[in-house]
A and B are shown apart, each in its own frame.
Chain A
Amino acid sequence: MNLVPQTHSTESVAKDLAAVVPPHTLIADTETQVVYECDGLAMYKQPPMITVLPESVEQVQAVMRYAHQSGIPVVARGGGTGLCAGAMPHAEGILLSLAKFNQIQHIDPLARTAVVQPGVRNLAISEAAKIHNLYYAPDPSSQIACTIGGNVAENAGGVHCLKYGLTVNNVIKVEMITIEGDEVVIGSEGLDSAGPDLLALMHGSEGLLGVITEITVKLMPIPERMQVVMAAFDDVTKAGNAVGAVIAKGIIPGGLEMMDHFAIVAVEEYLQAGYPTEAQALLLCEVDGTPAEVEEHIAAVTQVFEQMGATSVRISQSEEERQLFWKGRKNAFPAVGRLSPDYYCMDGTIPRSQLANVLLKMAEMSERYGLRVANVFHAGDGNLHPLILFDANIEGQFETTEEFGGKILELCVEVGGCITGEHGVGMEKIRQMFTQFSETELTQFHAIKAAFDSANQLNPGKGIPVLKNCQEYRSVGGA
């Protein structure tokens, strides 16, 4: 199934490509290509053989046809903000940047849809839709820079997933170029299509099945009012139980986030969001809807938090204060990052009832590995983001960090969760795929991949591990 290595010199590929796409769309020199050597997970680096920045669908098709005929790998890239090395280039491959596909083609305010090119930034959609009082709901922390094409590739989430879903729940149609260079339309302007749900299959497929050139997203009306309750707890278990108690009350908050003591202190030092630094856990619960509804729910949530033993409860009193509460959470990664030369962000999911247990075990591991860990948690949907602090300049420390991170993900699987909630597998979690999936399951994944890309040319080596590595990984991991 793997690509038979063929020798292609950069010069010959550049020459061939220049015959099918305009020369100015090609970057072949080493220096200029440095910016493409990694995505948001900078520990994984690999310069591509050649980079193409096509400007039209026809050019994407031309590149794909050439790559297909020549047996050259193709790695698609959006904003390069991914956190799993899913967009890391292939040494003998073409890096296909969709950066020039940056147009919002059409917004239909009545039907509440936007037709956009894959290189459009996530936040740009909401900004453009704002005059119609609409927005695009999924909001990954990188939304200023990440692109919608990458969001589809990784099935990106954000802090509002519990109520509004992930990318897969907010896209109705994609246009895709296959490795053969054919254009296929998946989905429609309606809400469903006959036959198996290929649209869902494309979400989270990490560029392994095709290259997306156009996306139709759903837009939502901007809630009339949004308000945040911030509650501090002296114990993580109490905070975890409080999350369950809000849901048991029948309220689905727009966002429900948790931070542990380490993260709270780091954020407060970084940007003074007014977080109580003595707290062991902090919950941010956003309620949205009509003013009357928000008022009713805010009162109910406040009462629940007090009953569940919150040491302090604050309600945002203005839009500025609401933004400030969120600013802390949204900047938690850089805030924690300031405390250490490097940090490594994990992305496991767990059943919420396992929270205290998982945090306790993580603290034990932290001690064992001698590496500090801060926790930021999409509490509403059970998605943990442990941030492991390390120093890449200390020899071997990244390797230790990776091992620690891997153990956290294995722990998530052990308690009934998954190795990734929204960041994807890419190169980074390829080993942990063996923890979550059996060999027959992985073989089935490879068969599906082959249905789209029989020569394994699209983003090879990512997402689904090669089975021959299984035994090796299992024995390394099986301590």
Chain B
Amino acid sequence: MKQLIDQVKTAISEGKTLRIEGGNSKAHIGRATECSETLSLRDHTGIAPYNPVELVMTTKAGTTIAEINAELAKHGQFLPAECPDFDGSATIGGTLAANCNGAGRPFRGALRDLVLGCYLINGKGEHLRFGGTVLKNVAGYDVSRLQSGAMGTLGVIEEVSFKVLPRPAMEITVSKTCSAEDAITTMNKLAAGSTPLSASAWVNGTLYLRLAGAKTAVEAAMAQLAMREEDAEVWASLNTLWQDCATEGRYRLSVKSTAAPSGHAQIINWGGAERWVSSDATLAQMQQAAAKMGGEARWIGAAREDEVNPALPDALKALHKRLKQSIDPRGVFNPGRLYSWN
């Protein structure tokens, strides 16, 4: 850890910029940036002694999602956000920074919902602790959750504490053939009722639902739905979309779950709230469509000079700039990764 802090301090004094890197699995996410050097957390790993009944795990930021999943599985627990593991290379720090979550997200929360605290190295080279290692903590501003989506622009995440849960006793995937419109209606109607859903998606003309919970509840729901049983492969394949975008970029729309499908070729995840669209449209055009659907569009693909995230209104943009200044006054960390102007 001292090494990390020293590198940050040296960069500050020499006026350098740092590209924060964990497993380097998400180089294609965000804008292309030119940094003086890389600050690697790849070897900054380790899981702190973990007591399963506390439902809390603390790890160094470079610990991989795969390693965390394996450790939790030994105790019948899991990371409810089901974060993509990028073939074993994704780290918990990078996953939080990129706000990368799996199919269970609408039902069990994102990693940001699970995060309880973190250690951060700010742009002055100070090592700071926010939040805690207990399930509830509201003292001070929530700087830990603030890191979600910041893409490393608000400091170096050094350690993360997060909530974990017991794995449901049973999980079954079922499917049926239907249109995108029907799938969106079905996914939302079921989520508003008592069906024990833990994921729902529409891929290539097929609606997939995952049922989770006590054996009796899952079996009762299966009988009621009368859909064909599937293997769980589809959920893993949805998780690899993030990764696949490195070679074939897509727009990721985060929208109201009930929004009617746009006319594009797409995959619908998160019960309707996440839509992966393949299109030649510009970000501005896609953003216009997404805004009508109650949300926003981002470009996930080969890193580029252009903006990848939607433009912000002036007042909000000013807030983002001042917030960056407040944590990283010299702009050392990942300059331009999120927006060209920050």
Contacts and interface: CB of A to CB of B under 8 A. Distances in A.
Contacts of B339: 195
B104 to A, nearest CB: 12
Contact of A421 (B137, B169, B193, B274): B137
Interface of A: 108-113, 132-134, 154-155, 157, 161-162, 165-166, 168-169, 178, 180, 182-186, 188-198, 200-201, 203-205, 209, 221, 223-224, 244-245, 247-252, 289-290, 292-293, 295-297, 349-353, 378, 380-383, 416-425, 429, 432-433, 436-438, 440-441, 444-445, 447-452, 463-464
A157 B316 CA distance: 28
Contact of B132 (A113, A417, A464): A417
Interface residues of B, number: 89
B145 A197 contact: yes
Contacts of A418: 132, 134, 136-139
A196 B141 contact: no
A250 B52 CA distance: 10
28 contacts: A110-B185, A110-B192, A113-B256, A154-B138, A161-B136, A166-B138, A178-B315, A184-B315, A188-B254, A190-B253, A191-B106, A194-B338, A195-B149, A197-B146, A200-B146, A204-B141, A205-B141, A221-B193, A244-B53, A250-B168, A289-B196, A296-B216, A349-B132, A383-B135, A418-B137, A421-B138, A444-B122, A448-B326
A194 B298 contact: yes
B294 interface: yes
A193 B217 CA distance: 34
B214 A289 contact: yes
A132 B188 CA distance: 13
B148 A198 contact: no
Contact of A292 (B192, B214, B309): B214
B202 to A, nearest CB: 16
Contacts of B330: none
Given A184-B313, A192-B99, A197-B148, A450 B296 contact: no
Contact of B140 (A113, A169, A245, A433): A433
A445 to B, nearest CB: 6
A168 B167 contact: no
Contact of B150 (A113, A195, A381, A441): A195
A452 to B, nearest CB: 7
Interface in B296-342: 296, 298, 309-310, 312-313, 315-316, 319-320, 322-323, 325-327, 338-339
Given A155-B138, A383-B136, A437-B140, 16 more contacts: A111-B257, A112-B192, A154-B138, A178-B315, A190-B254, A192-B110, A197-B145, A201-B142, A204-B142, A250-B167, A296-B217, A352-B54, A382-B135, A417-B132, A429-B139, A464-B141
A200 B51 contact: no
Contacts, number: 283
A350 B145 CA distance: 20
A381 B310 CA distance: 38
B130 A441 contact: yes
B71 interface: no
A190 B135 contact: no
Contact of A196 (B153, B194, B296): B153
A228 B58 CA distance: 32
A197 B112 contact: yes
Among B101, B193, B295, B312: residue with most chain A CB under 10 A: B295
A419 B267 CA distance: 45
Interface string B217-238: 1011100000000000000000
